[in-house]
Amino acid sequence: MGTPELKYQLKEQIIKFLNLISVTPEDIKDDEPLFGEGLGLDSIDSLELIVLMDREYGIKITDPKEGRKILVDINTMVDYIEKNRTK
């Protein structure tokens, strides 16, 4: 799967996983911060996204602080997924 497809798929997964209301993949920009401004996610969402990375891509992030560096925006997540995915 190429990067653009992976980005689109990830956006769909995030919307479904976090049950985001009236947000489409097109609404999420690749370099828009996921937390605070932008999508407005919070610390519980970051724990949810860590589970998403595990279940969808077989990536185990054990330290939530490490997670914060990976879960910055779609670009950083996809970058990490491409390098570390086990499924």
Partner 1 sequence: MFYIHQSSCISAQKAFSDPSETSLTASVNNKLYACDANYDMIPPNTLRRLGKAVKMGIATGMQVINQQAVDGIVIGTANGGLEDCIKFLNQIIEFEEGRLTPTNFVQSTTNAIAGQLGIMTVNKGYNITHVHRGLAFENALIDTEMLLQENPDRSYLIGGVDEISEYNYTIDTLAGCYKKEDVSNKNLLRAASAGSMAGEGAAMFLVNNSKQDAQASIRAIKTLHSTEFDSIEKTIQDFIQEHVSGEEKIDLILSGKNGDARLDAYYEKCVSLLPANTPVGYYKQLTGEFSTATAIALWIAVTLLSTNRLNALLEIPATLQPKNILLYNTCRGNQHSLILISKP
Partner 2 sequence: MSRIVVTGIGIISAIGDNADSNRTALQNGICGISSIDLFETKYAKELPFGEIKISNAVLKGHLRVSFPGVTRTSLLAQHAFEQAIADSNLSSEDLSDESTAFITGNTVGGMCLTDELYNDANKRSTDSPYVNSYDLGSVTVYLQELYKIRGISNTINTACSSSANAIMYGARLLKYGKAKRAIVGGVDSLAKFTINGFNALHILSSQQCKPFDQNRSGLNLGEGAAFLILEREEDCIQKKKYAILSGYSNANDAYHASSLSDTGEGPYAAMTEALKNAQLQPADISFINAHGTGTENNDLVEGVAMKRIFEKVPPFASSKSNTGHTLGAAGAIEAVYSILSIQHQELYPSLHFNQSIDTLALEPLQTFQKSTVRHVMSNSFGFAGNCSSLIFSEI
22 binds, among partner 1, partner 2, none (CB under 5 to 8 A by kind): partner 1
The yes or no reply on residue 64 touching partner 2 (CB under 8 A) is yes
Determine if 44 is a binding residue for partner 2 (CB under 8 A): yes
Residue 60's SS3 state is coil
CA–CA dist 69, 56 (Å, integer): 19
Rg, Å, the chain Cα set: 12
Residue 10's binding partner among partner 1, partner 2, none (Cβ under 5 to 8 angstroms by kind) is none
Neighbours of 53 (CB within 10 A): 22
Is there a contact between 57 and 51 (Cβ–Cβ < 8 Å)?
A: no
**Binder of residue 64, out of partner 2, partner 1, none (CB less than 5 to 8 A by kind):** partner 2
Contacting residues toward partner 2, per CB under 8 A: 42-44, 47, 51, 64
